[in-house]
Structure 1
Amino acid sequence: MPTPPRFRRRRTDRWQVVRVTGASMLPTLRDGDLLLLRRGRTPVVGDVVVADLPGARGPGVKRAVALGPDGWWLERDSPAEGTDSWLFGAVPVADVHGVVRARLWPRPGRLPRRA
């Protein structure tokens, strides 16, 4: 008797939809944009990431600028809005949830990577 085919189970918990709140990522992202987050992915310099920000700030959407011994240096795209590592320092690697792969709404598409 032939063996039944095996099906690979896809892990859907690796993908998450997140909403941008605030204006710190203007002009790249706007308040209310819906993003597709790839959880558990290691960022590359220039990627947009979601991370737990220090000081009870909660999760935030920021750009990964550099990886140092203390963790990721995260910055905002808008110097006039929000907070970033210039205020709270590097974010531990374990606090970075994943990499934003695309904007889903209102202007679907991939996000630009900046160096």
Structure 2
Amino acid sequence: MARVPLGWAVVRGDSMRPTLTPGDRLLVRYGASPRAGSVVVARLADGTLAVKRAERRVETRTGDAAWWLLGDNPAGVDSRHRGPVADEDVLGVAVLRVWPRPRTLRGR
């Protein structure tokens, strides 16, 4: 069984409220495959790294697999504004908020 590297991410902005707030520290399994409902770290089309919820896997016009990513706060910027995110740009799955109050992050 291959090991999936663990790392950290820090939430910036309000797009994941109320689930996550700015400054929350997340434990992330980089390279892990998301499921619908997973909280992920992804690279958006403009190069921005973002923490979003993987809503569903979609196929692009070219036939490539991609993810439709949404923030829990409808006022945030996500796939509704930037479009789907390619599989390879979904960098990891957040499994735990470690600070300020530890709790697991599960799909809805």
| Fold conserved between structures, TM > 0.5 | yes
* Equivalent AA in structure 2 for residue 101 of structure 1: V
Deviation at 1:48, TM superposition (A): 0.2
What count of residue pairs does the alignment treat as equivalent?
Answer: 102
* Equivalent AA in structure 2 for residue 36 of structure 1: L
The secondary structure found in structure 2 opposite 1:31 is coil
The residue number in structure 1 matching 2:56 is 66
Quick one: distance in 2 between partners of 1:105 and 1:78? Answer: 20
Quick one: distance in 2 between partners of 1:112 and 1:14? Answer: 19
The residue number in structure 2 matching 1:105 is 99
The residue number in structure 2 matching 1:27 is 18
Q: Determine which of 15, 22, 32 is the counterpart of 2:6.
A: 15
Deviation at 1:101, TM superposition (A): 0.4
TM-score by length of 1: 0.84
Higher strand fraction (1 or 2)? 2
Tell whether 2:90 aligns with 1:96: yes
| Structure 1 residues 26-59: Cα deviation after superposition (integer angstroms, max 9, x where no partner) | 0000000000000111101000000001123x10
Q: Which runs of 4+ in 1 moved over 4 A?
A: none
Choose 1 or 2 for highest CA Rg.
Answer: 1
Quick one: distance in 1 between partners of 2:50 and 2:13? Answer: 9
* Equivalent AA in structure 1 for residue 23 of structure 2: G
CA-based RMSD: 1.5
| Structure 1 residues 91-112: Cα deviation after superposition (integer angstroms, max 9, x where no partner) | 0000000100000000101024
The residue number in structure 2 matching 1:5 is none
The residue number in structure 2 matching 1:79 is 74
Quick one: distance in 1 between partners of 2:15 and 2:79? Answer: 12
TM-score by length of 2: 0.89
Identity between Structure 1 and Structure 2 (%) = 46
* Equivalent AA in structure 1 for residue 50 of structure 2: G
The secondary structure found in structure 2 opposite 1:16 is strand
